[in-house]
């Protein structure tokens, strides 16, 4: 073994391994969040859910050409079951993510323009529905929990009047 190989074997390789470990530790180790950090994070999430709430109750023109809003058929997030996705949907003969089903309702019952799946608007609708289903056990693939299909009430959106839970007032 020449000097170069010896160097690689005994010095360079352990150094490289140690460096990789140090980097990994730096990336993964995290002090618990401070109270201030948690408050700031909660505020961001709540703002997203509030935006979703407004979109849910108001019939936004691009999302609805017939004046129907989500809340006309899913008042207070009813029968949206975010905890059951992904699951097979007979409407499309596909296993669908929650956001795909949101777009299905925008394009079909609301005859509107689908949202970009990763847009802040889609995340806002998700934030609202998921917020209202906090604590419900996740049961991915469950066909549905609804006992009755959503019943549309024709209207141009709804007066923004929520459940009174958390921000939803
Ligand atoms: C005119 C009534 C109507 C409107 C308006 C409507 N939906 Fe729906 N929604 C339905 C029907 C009907 C289904 C299918 C129910 C089924 O498959 O059993 C459904 C299903 C869903 C599901 C899947 C629920 C499940 O458990 O399978 C989601 C999520 C959903 N809607 C979200 C929305 C969102 C978000 C909006 C607003 C952007 C919206 N819907 C607007 C009627 C409506």
Tens digit of pLDDT per residue, the chain (169 long)?
Answer: 455 555 555 556 555 555 555 555 556 667 789 999 999 999 999 999 999 999 999 999 999 999 999 999 888 888 899 999 999 888 899 999 999 999 999 999 999 999 999 999 999 999 999 999 999 889 988 876 665 667 776 666 776 666 665 555 5
Q: What is the pLDDT of residue 149?
A: 65
Q: Are 70 and 59 in contact (CB under 8 A)?
A: no
Do 42 and 25 fall into the same domain? no
Does any domain span residue 159? no
Closest CA to 144 of 77, 75, 83: 83
Task: State in Å: Cα 161 to ligand 1 middle.
Answer: 20
Does any domain span residue 15? yes
Distance (Å, whole) CA 44 – CA 65:
30
Q: Are 113 and 41 in contact (CB under 8 A)?
A: no
Task: State in Å: Cα 102 to ligand 1 middle.
Answer: 7
Does any domain span residue 23? yes
Task: State in Å: Cα 74 to ligand 1 middle.
Answer: 7
Task: State which residues form the domain around 115.
Answer: 35-132
Reported pTM: 0.80
Does any domain span residue 147? no
| Residue from 49, 59, 61, 73 to probe ligand 1 pocket by mutation (most atoms less than 8 Å from CB) | 73
Do 76 and 52 fall into the same domain? yes
Do 58 and 5 fall into the same domain? no
Residues lining ligand 1, CB < 6 A?
63, 68, 70, 72-74, 79-81, 84, 98, 101-102, 105-106, 109-110, 125, 144, 149-150, 152
Q: What is the pLDDT of residue 145?
A: 66
Task: State in Å: Cα 149 to ligand 1 middle.
Answer: 9
Task: State in Å: Cα 42 to ligand 1 middle.
Answer: 27
Does any domain span residue 4? yes
Measured from the Cβ of residue 127, the count of other Cβ atoms closer than 10 Å reads: 21
Do 59 and 115 fall into the same domain? yes
Q: Give the number of C-alpha atoms closer than 13 A to the C-alpha of residue 38, restricted to the C-beta side.
A: 5
Do 103 and 74 fall into the same domain? yes
Token pair listed for 82: 């975010």
Do 39 and 119 fall into the same domain? yes
State CA 38 to chain mean position distance.
19
CA distances from 124 to 7, 22, 36, 38, 102 (A): 56, 38, 23, 19, 11
Burial (CB < 10 A; 0-12, 13-18, 19+), residue 97, is middle
Looking from the CA of residue 70, the nearest atom of ligand 1 is 37
Do 25 and 39 fall into the same domain? no
**Tally of domains in the chain:** 2
């Amino acid at each position: 073994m020449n000097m170069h190989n010896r160097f690689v074997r005994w010095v360079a390789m352990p150094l490289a391994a140690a460096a990789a470990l140090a980097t990994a530790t730096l990336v993964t180790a995290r002090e618990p969040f401070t109270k201030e950090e948690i408050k700031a994070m909660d505020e961001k999430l709540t703002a997203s859910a509030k935006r979703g709430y407004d979109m849910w109750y108001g019939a936004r023109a691009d999302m609805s050409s017939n004046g129907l809003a989500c809340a006309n058929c899913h008042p207070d997030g009813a029968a949206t079951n975010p905890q059951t996705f992904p699951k097979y949907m007979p409407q499309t003969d596909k296993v669908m993510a929650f956001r795909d089903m949101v777009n299905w309702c925008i394009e079909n019952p609301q005859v509107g323009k689908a949202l970009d799946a990763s847009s802040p608007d889609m995340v806002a609708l998700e934030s609202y529905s998921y917020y209202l289903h906090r604590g419900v056990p996740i049961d991915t693939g469950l066909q549905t929990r609804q006992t009755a299909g959503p019943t549309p009430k024709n209207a141009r959106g709804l007066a923004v009047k929520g459940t009174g839970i958390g921000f939803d007032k």
